[in-house]
Structure formats: C-alpha cells, structure tokens
Structure 1
Amino acid sequence: MTAKDITICMVDGVRSKSVIIGVFDTGIAPQHTSFNDNEMLSPPVKWKGRCEFNVTTYCNKKLIGSRNFTQQDKSPWDKIGHGTHTSSTAAENFVGGANFLADVVAGLDAAIDDGVDVISMSFGLVVSPPLYDDYVAAGAYSAMKKGIFVSCSAGNVGLGNGSVINGAPWILTIGASTTDRKISAVPVLDNRAEFEGESAFQPTNFSRKLLPIVKGNACESLNTSDVKSKIVFCDTSG
C-alpha cells in the first residue's frame, strides 16, 4: 500500500453466512468479474459503510462499499492494480469459465483429448518460473500422467546458472551444443587423488605440472602476485 489509503469492504460467504472484510490498499476495479454478486446475500444489517464511486452500480452485494481517505484523488478506483489483486485473493466470488495459465494449457488439454502420443514444445520463458507458476510444466505434467511423451527445448541461452528452461523432471529437455561429444577431464591432486569430470576446453599441449591451491575468502581481496600460476578457490559473494 504505497500510493493510496483506501478501504474496500466486501462480503465473503454465500447463502447462509456472511463476513465483512475491510481491505486497505490502492483501491479496486469494481467491474472486475471476481466481484460479481451472483448468489450473494444482502449485506449484514450491521453494515453502515458507503460506496464512493461516482457510479453507484459499481457496488453490489459482494463489493458493498469503497472509500478513499487520501487528499490526492477522491475516487477509490484502483489505478495501480495491487488493491484489486489482494481484494480478489481475500474474497473473490466464483467466476464461470475461469482458467489457469491460459492458451498453452488449453492447447495441451486439447492435444491430450485428441489422443496424441508425443508432444513437442520449442518455446518457453527466458527464466524458468517456480513449478507452480510454470504453464509448460503444469501442462506437461497432465500429459505425462496420460502416458504422453513430452519433449521441450532447453532455451537459447547458456552457459550460465539457471539458463536451462523447461527443466521439470517429467519433461525430456533438449539443448543444442557446439560439440557432439563428451570431453572428459580428470584432475589429479598432489595427494594423487583423482576426480572425474568434464571440461569445455582440453588443449593438446596442456601442462602436467601440479599447481598449488589457494583459498581466498573474496576474489576481490586477492593480490594478483599471490595467485599467479596457482589454482584459486574463492567466494564470489553470490
């Protein structure tokens, strides 16, 4: 609540019992379908508030009142969207035909109903959202439960942390590479311990000389003369 101090009063509950909720926020968009008053009872008799929209029909048996207490704008209309969001979370009414994550999921549902065996999706967001907000992951999960094989692209960005998209465990995630083979590397420490791994670069004239390891708390604080010709482990602070 950064721009306005507005009270939005709504009734939560249908048919038998009602609770009045007062929300202090940036206002409300009264014509939003979440605030319809289908099957709502009249406001409880204790209600003494009022509706300060210039159109009285904006308030109903769901949105029973809205007032503005700021000096800037006398209307309780939400010009930012935050108040509408929080109000609908607190006490929205049922909305017919509402859907989750829209077009992509609708297409996946249709593909499942049509009886496909494989789904290929070569698109995605730049950064993968959490799974509960990932429309590709949600739709692919429904397909996977029906025994449908789902293949998705890994994105066009790399090699950075979190640069792979569509990485849900029930998806076969496909990414292109500039090399068609695994380049193995086996670092050998001074105590002769060996660790198997991979490398993006393996020159033919690579020196077999063992180098000392330096551990620093922060890379920025290390003097270059102290780390020359050494392997450095340091904290990059995130």
Structure 2
Amino acid sequence: MAFASNLALTFLLLSFIVVTFASTNVHIVYMGHRSQSQNESELIEASHHDMLSCILGSKRAAMKSILYSYKHGFSGFAAVLTHSQAKLIADFPGVVRVIPNKILSLHTTRSWDFLHVKPDIVTGVLSRAQSGRGSIIGIIDTGIWPESHGFRDDHMDNPPPRWRGICQEGENFDSSHCNRKIIGARWYIKGYEAEFGKLNTSDGVEYLSPRDASGHGTHTSSTAAGVPVESASFKGLAKGSARGGAPSAWLSIYKICWSTGGCSSADLLAAFDDAIFDGVDIISASLGSSPPLPTYVEDVLAIGSFHAVAKGISVVCSGGNSGPYAQTVINTAPWVITVAASTIDREFPSTIILGNNQTIQGKN
C-alpha cells in the first residue's frame, strides 16, 4: 500500500512538470521481473502509458512516444524521450534502469563435423538428442530466406500445442512461407526507424518483413537447425553436405537486424519478450555490442537473456569478432552460453598467375 501511495504521489507531482523542447532519442525503461500470469499483459501495458503520461502530459502523447511495451517475460518499455525526460522517469518507483538505445552489430557448412557431432554415430550426442526433435529454436537475427532447401519440412512434425507464435506477414513474405519447419516469424523495426528514419525498401535491397536480405540470419538458422542439403558449396568451394546441429528442431524467426546497418537494442528486447511468450526452448543470437563491454545492467542482451533463462529457456550467443586484445569477447553474462571458434580445419586455396607466368598458391 505504501508503494502504491508513493507511486501515486510521484505521478501527481510530475504531472505538473513542463518539459521543454529538446532532441529526442529512444530510451529503454527497464522495470525488471514480472509475474507469470499472461492475463496481466494489457494491464501492464496500460500502466506503462499511465507512467509516461505523467511526464508527457497526456495518455495520447505517451502512446505515441512508446515504441514497445515489454510485458511477457519482464516489464518495461521503449520510448522516444529527451535526455531530461529520461532522467525524470529514472527516479520513478519500480524503474530499475533507463538505458539509451544502442545499435548492435552482427557478428557453416562444416561446423558440426569439425566438432565431431555426426548423425551417423548411434551413440553420439546428436543421436541421443534425437537431432533436436521436439525443441523450438528462436533465432534473433536478420530474418530468413524460407525457400532455402535447408528449411524443408518433409519429415517434420506439426508444431506442439504449447506453441503461441505467429507468422507475421510483410514484403515478399506471407503465411505460406511458414511451414512445419519454420513455425514462427516476426520482424521489428520501430527502434531502428526511431533512430534513423523510415527505411526505404523500394530498391529491393531490404524487406519490411521476416525475409532475409543479407543472408546472415539464414546462415545462422541453417547452422542451428537446417535439414541436410547434399552437394552444398560456396561457388564451388568446400563442396559437401550441409546440415544443422539440430535438424529435427523447429525454427522461429525474430528479425531485428537490417542490411542497411545494425540492430536496435529496443527491437532486440521486444524479440526476447515475444520469444518468451511464444514458447521457444532455445534462443540463438549472433550479435552484440562492440568493446568495451557494457555492465550487465546496461547490456540489453544480458537483460533479455536473463529473463529468458529464468523462464527455463537456454540462450546461446556469439563471442564476437573483435580482438586479438584482452577483454574483447562479448556476451559474457554467466547465464549465457557464449560460443566462439579460434581455429577451423579447412582451407580455401586458390592460384594466382602473375604477368610473368609465375604461379603463387594462396589460401584463405
């Protein structure tokens, strides 16, 4: 009761504050853990509007400012605020942290053979895990190219009754692009556009949909759960069978990264929130900040993954591509499985013939 009274008093006092014009940026108002009840989602969203309306002067202004209400796995919202508005709301009861929106960056066919994870070994880990059958892997990345052969659903089961995900439509992507392999797809751009303006897709370089324009998300999805594809290669190099680590697992796609430049942390938290609600078992995110490392309370990926793990969801993240200096591995929160490679067992040789007919053997 005391908390409610203090909160009401704070709202009342702040409702008389006149905020002057200033430049705005996206801020994430993080409010921490929330209960398991799904019936409270609308009430939580309404409370976010009420809180912000005390600063902006009206509920309409608050609803216009808020980009996302995080209400499933945790509580909070992303909104377009001035620096002074962000400082004011940081002092509200129940607000854990106000975090400026950041743009994160994105970080193979033979990976599983290199790790000796082979489907033809009866006693191997892949066989014992039934190739991931019954598991749902959420991929937070650049989307997916659903026509790729690695996403065939020939031998896939129907999604489980517990699944609550959707197949969100958009440019060059409709519900028919989901199947028994790709059982969910969503896309998020509000945080990105609030920072950089409307994304122009008229040139066909990008799609306002779950469709992948850069190939990164398709690559990570197939590495995680692609079904076997024979005679795969990159322009004739490294020809062989391509397959994912859990080829019998279902995929749910969360597109937050855009080929024109980066991934908004506000969009990332929205993807985590939806993935928790949808019912994924594993979340994979091959993206992150650049060094120096943020603290955990300012690291949106650490925050989202913390609440996912608290709900029993395993979170796997890339260690980044920085280095070779110390403290350049990212996504190091202790509740995250951080993956990186320091070597690989293959080469891509090519021959260079100089003008004097001298031949040099090169490799990559």
**TM-score, normalization: structure 2?**
0.27
More strand by share: 2
Which one has the largest radius of gyration? Answer: 1
More helix by share: 2
Greater RCO between the two (CA within 8 Å, min separation 6)?
2
